[in-house]
Amino acid sequence: MLSEGKMKYFFIILIFLSVFSSCVTQKVITPPDKPVMLATTDMKCVQVSEKRDWYFLWGLKPVNEKEVTTAPLLTDVNKPVKIEITTTALDAFMTIFTFWASFVPETTKVYECSK
C-alpha cells in the first residue's frame, strides 16, 4: 500500500497526465504536383472527408501515420481547403476507455471551400 506522501505524488502525476492528454502536433502535407490553397475565414466550407488518428503516450507518439496526407482526403484540389484537427464527441467518449492505456484519438476533418 502506498503511504500518504506517495499517494499525493501519484495523484499529482495523474492530474498532470490528464491535463496534457492529447497535446498533439500533426504535419499536413500535399502532393508536390497538386498544392492546395488554404481557405480564408469569409469562405463557405463543406466537409468532404474525415480521418481518425490515434496517439500513444497521451498524444506524444502517433500510432498510425505521422503525417496527414491531404491527397486522399480531397475530392477537388482546385478549391481552397480548410483542415481542422479536433477532438470530436466520439473521440472524447473513446478517450474515457483508452486514456488509462495512454491511447488518445484525434480527428482530422477536411473541408472544401468557395467564396
Query: Are 38 and 82 contacting, i.e. CB atoms less than 8 angstroms apart?
Result: yes
Q: What is the pLDDT of residue 44?
A: 93
Q: What is the pLDDT of residue 67?
A: 58
pLDDT string in tens for the chain (115-residue length): 567 778 888 888 777 766 655 555 666 666 677 677 788 888 999 998 888 888 777 666 777 665 555 555 666 567 788 888 888 888 878 877 877 777 778 888 888 888 7
C-alpha angle 74-106-65 in degrees, rounded to nearest 5: 65
* pTM exceeds cut of 0.85: no
Q: Cell numbers 507518439 correspond to what residue? A: 61
Domain count, the chain: 1
The boundaries of the domain holding residue 17 are: 4-114
